[in-house]
Structure 1
Amino acid sequence: MEMWKESQLRKILEAKDVKPAYEISLKLAQSLGFNFCAFSITSPVVMLHHDTVSFNNYPVDWNTTYEHGHFGDIDPILAHCNQSELPILWDEKFFANVPELRQTQKKQGLQFGWSQSIHDRSGLRSMFSLARSNEPITADEWYGHLGYAILINRHLNGLVAQKLRQRLPAASTPHLSTREIEILKLSADGKTACECSMILNIAERTVNFHVRSAIQKFGVNNKIAAVIKAVRAGAI
């Protein structure tokens, strides 16, 4: 059994697309004694629009009720996972303020479960959940499977992040003239407009002209901001 689980994990990590990776994860979850497996990912920074990713084998009625009832706005587990990466059991106390959601959840067979989230540096937040209809989840079982869940969640998150980066247009760096680059480099070294004019043997007003041009190209309000933008863009 252990060798089979290891082989399934390898297949998940070798998958290049999130859908087949999820499908293998579902099989692994079922072999571990869970009826349901869910993965979803959202971003408060980069809007996914119609590309929002969500995979689960929850009952269709539950998914429909969850969406139409706007349960996502009041789901305490989702709220927790949006704020923390700490895994959380579906304990009754977390649903104390939303009894209707909890009762509906139980009727659909989602009696016992736990969720774990990943927050990456790009702002993506993924949530991986395992659930079943009978038998509470013991502490030993929870800790025993936590490593699998974190590994799977990170891989699924990474697959989505990679695809999203491919779809986003590359950030464009404005074209800077040779003189603008020279002046921004000198400014980055702390040189004043007067000092730049002496070093480059041009009038100070010409230096200021090129500075204003760079400011306009980067869409910022001052020389310091233009220098920072140029450094981050690798222009100087």
Structure 2
Amino acid sequence: MERWKASQLKQLSFAREIETAYPILLRFAQNIGFNFCAITLTSTERNADFKALQINNYPKEWNQLYEKESYSKIDPVIAHCNLCVLPIVWTEEVFAQTPQLWGAQQQHGLRHGWSQSFHNQASGLCTTLSLVRKNAALDPLELYEHFGYIFYAASHMSELFARTLPKPLKKPQPPHLSPRELEVLQLSAVGKTAYEIARILCLSERTVNYHVQNVIVKLDVCNKISAVTAATRCGLLDAPTA
């Protein structure tokens, strides 16, 4: 690796905020022959309150047009990067189904580009890093030479952004029921009485009622019927059948 690349990679790895990491990334993009650098962080796993992050040095007029025309809904690069981590080169063939988008990009100087995504399974983030220039088509050797750096950059930006997000609420784990408690509850779910359950499981009726009471306490409900309902909802039992 050339010395300047190693130096900028080190600077990027030390960056602890998106705002400080992006200028380093932009400088690297310009050093390898690109005019523009864009980073987009989205998520398909978070709720509607989640706000995607977009940072780029694209022409202001282009950003305004892209938003006004809702191009993100038809952008084949976004569709690709949301599903795949393989790099995608911007070509007319890629935009064959959206010629209006391709033409608008060309008019604003976004003529030759490639995008690389990184999917963070832990945070549910999809990070897309795009490098674009006005002139000179991409050489496959460029992708080979710079792929590792760009993939690392995308992953690092994803990690930095993930740190700023509230952690998703974990679903409460259902209480643990013993095998015998589950047997008693399953039989209760199909309408068996304590006497009948005692005969089926070769237990005393008192023992059956003891297990039922334990289940009621563990599920924090007030009676046996509520216990069956609560257990079914949290997946401890199959839906009761007649």
Distance 1:18 1:226, change over 3 A: farther
2:44 aligned counterpart, secondary structure:
coil
Aligned: 1:222 with 2:226:
no
Alpha-carbon separation, structure 2, partners of 1:59 and 1:190: 66
1:153-232 alignment, distance < 5 Å: 153-164=154-165, 167-168=166-167, 171=170, 173=172, 184=177, 186-187=178-179, 192-193=183-184, 203-215=207-219, 221-222=231-232, 225-226=235-236
Percentage identity across paired residues of the two chains: 35
In structure 1, what is the equivalent of residue 36 of structure 2?
Answer: 36
TM-score when normalising by structure 1: 0.78
Contact 2:181 2:215 in 1 (8 A): no
Contact 1:112 1:134 in 2 (8 A): yes
Contact 1:112 1:137 in 2 (8 A): yes
Q: Which has the higher helix share?
A: 1
Deviations 1:141-189 (A, max 9, x none): 121111111010010011112221xx23654758x9xxx76xx2x33x9
Distance 1:209 1:66, change over 3 A: farther
1:222 aligned counterpart, secondary structure:
helix
Cα offset, 1:222, TM superposition: 2.8
In structure 2, what is the equivalent of residue 132 of structure 1?
Answer: 133
1:109 aligned counterpart, secondary structure:
coil
Distance 1:208 1:56, change over 3 A: same
Aligned: 1:8 with 2:34:
no
Cα offset, 1:19, TM superposition: 1.7
Q: Which runs of 5+ in 2 are unaligned?
A: 185-196, 222-226, 238-242
Alpha-carbon separation, structure 2, partners of 1:211 and 1:85: 47
Larger Rg: 2
Cα offset, 1:215, TM superposition: 4.4
Distance 1:18 1:191, change over 3 A: same
1:94 aligned counterpart, secondary structure:
coil
In structure 1, what is the equivalent of residue 117 of structure 2?
Answer: 117
1:154 aligned counterpart, secondary structure:
helix
Deviations 1:31-54 (A, max 9, x none): 111100011111111137363211
Count the aligned residue pairs.
Answer: 215
46-55 or 26-35, which deviates more: 46-55
TM-score when normalising by structure 2: 0.77
Distance 1:83 1:220, change over 3 A: farther
Contact 1:215 1:222 in 2 (8 A): no
What value does the CA root-mean-square deviation take over the aligned residues?
Answer: 3.2
2:8 aligned counterpart, secondary structure:
helix
